[in-house]
Chain A
Amino acid sequence: MPKRKKLTTAQQDYANTAKALEPKRPVVKNVLMAFVVGGLICTLGQILQFIFINYFGFEESQAGNPTAAVLIIISALLTGLGIYDHIAQRAGAGTAVPITGFANSIASAAIEHRSEGYVLGVGANMFKVAGSVIVFGVFSAFVVAIIKILINGVGGL
């Protein structure tokens, strides 16, 4: 959000009018939709995990990897077919927050910038949204890890 500067009265009037005319977001409906769709994606993940543990002999701690991979493949495919973004318009965070949303942000950026070429378009833009997730995820994990190690001592982790 841009820093709020001192506004003249005319600008303030304009800002107030704009705010009053802005369509109200159906917050309750959106949150409910995000809850249901996000919940369903996680349930699908749980079902996949059961399948990988019971039929493919994965250990419980390892079953997350193939589960994530399958969800990512589904997400990339649905993104390419234009279906994922269609669902995302209604489900908002329900589709953005699960790992499928991470895959969707990469796949959609890759597809969108394809016309600029594979190196400068696809390669360079793939991580437009996902990049910030990785940067802040890695940095915060690094800080937390260092703090934990300092508190516990490297030996007694």
Chain B
Amino acid sequence: MEKLIWAFLVGGTICAIGQIMMDVFRMTPAHTMTTLVVTGAVLGGLGLYEPLIEFAGAGASIPISSFGNSLLKGALNEARQNGIIGVLTGIFEITSAGISAAIIFGFIASLIFKPKG
């Protein structure tokens, strides 16, 4: 139960940071998302993102910043096993489910739905 509250607070805070980037620094949504992804990868490199996920669960793993962290984690895990080529083979290992699902269901949506207004 406690974890739900932390997920809400941490996830909400990351989204609020995104909103501040959009409103105060006048960034487009694409710039905001891109910046958050890069931030996630850098925080992952510094070893700060995993503890945040440990602590806040989905609050840290659902925002897009975790995408950068997961890319890095996949690359490093695979590199540990297979040497430096693992950076290339492992980079999409963890994020594969998310990217594949987004492509597949996005495509299905385009088969079913017509654009609105």
**Chain A interface residues (CB < 8 Å from chain B):** 1, 25, 27, 30-43, 45-49, 64-69, 71-73, 76-77, 79-82, 85, 92-94, 96-103, 105-107, 109-112, 114-115, 118, 122, 126, 129-130, 132-134, 136-138, 140-142, 144-149, 154, 157
Q: Is A146 a contact partner of B41 (Cβ separation < 8 A)?
A: no
B91 / chain A contacts, CB cutoff of 8 Å:
138, 141-142, 145
Interface residues of B in 13-51 (CB under 8 A from A): 13-24, 26, 29-30, 32-34, 36-38, 40-42, 44-45
Interface majority SS on B: helix, strand, loop or mixed? helix
Q: Is A42 a contact partner of B72 (Cβ separation < 8 A)?
A: no
Q: Is A96 a contact partner of B18 (Cβ separation < 8 A)?
A: yes
Interface majority SS on A: helix, strand, loop or mixed? helix
Pick from B16, B44, B115: contact of A115, CB below 8 A.
Answer: B115
Q: Can you list 25 A-B contacts with CB-CB less than 8 angstroms, sorted by A residue number?
A: A1-B26, A31-B16, A35-B15, A35-B16, A41-B62, A42-B10, A42-B62, A43-B4, A43-B58, A45-B61, A69-B97, A82-B117, A93-B18, A97-B18, A97-B64, A99-B62, A102-B64, A105-B33, A111-B114, A122-B107, A126-B107, A142-B87, A142-B91, A154-B79, A154-B83
Q: Is B62 a contact partner of A98 (Cβ separation < 8 A)?
A: yes
Interface residues of B in 61-105 (CB under 8 A from A): 61-68, 71-72, 75-76, 79-80, 83-84, 87, 91-92, 94, 97-99, 101-103, 105
Other than the known A41-B11, A43-B7, A102-B64, what 19 A-B pairs have Cβ atoms closer than 8 Å?
A27-B20, A39-B15, A45-B7, A46-B3, A64-B61, A64-B97, A65-B98, A68-B62, A69-B97, A79-B113, A99-B66, A118-B110, A130-B102, A137-B41, A138-B91, A140-B68, A141-B41, A145-B72, A145-B87
- Given A39-B11, A122-B110, A140-B42, A133–B23 Cβ distance below 8 Å? no
Q: Top 10 A-B pairs ranked by shortest CB distance?
A: A38-B15, A42-B11, A39-B12, A93-B18, A45-B58, A80-B113, A34-B19, A141-B71, A144-B45, A110-B110
Q: Which residue of B lies closest to A141 (CB)?
A: B71
Number of residues from B at the complex interface, CB < 8 A: 75
Q: Is A148 a contact partner of B45 (Cβ separation < 8 A)?
A: yes
**Chain B interface residues (CB < 8 Å from chain A):** 3-4, 7-24, 26, 29-30, 32-34, 36-38, 40-42, 44-45, 57-59, 61-68, 71-72, 75-76, 79-80, 83-84, 87, 91-92, 94, 97-99, 101-103, 105-110, 112-117
- Given A102-B67, A106-B106, A137–B7 Cβ distance below 8 Å? no
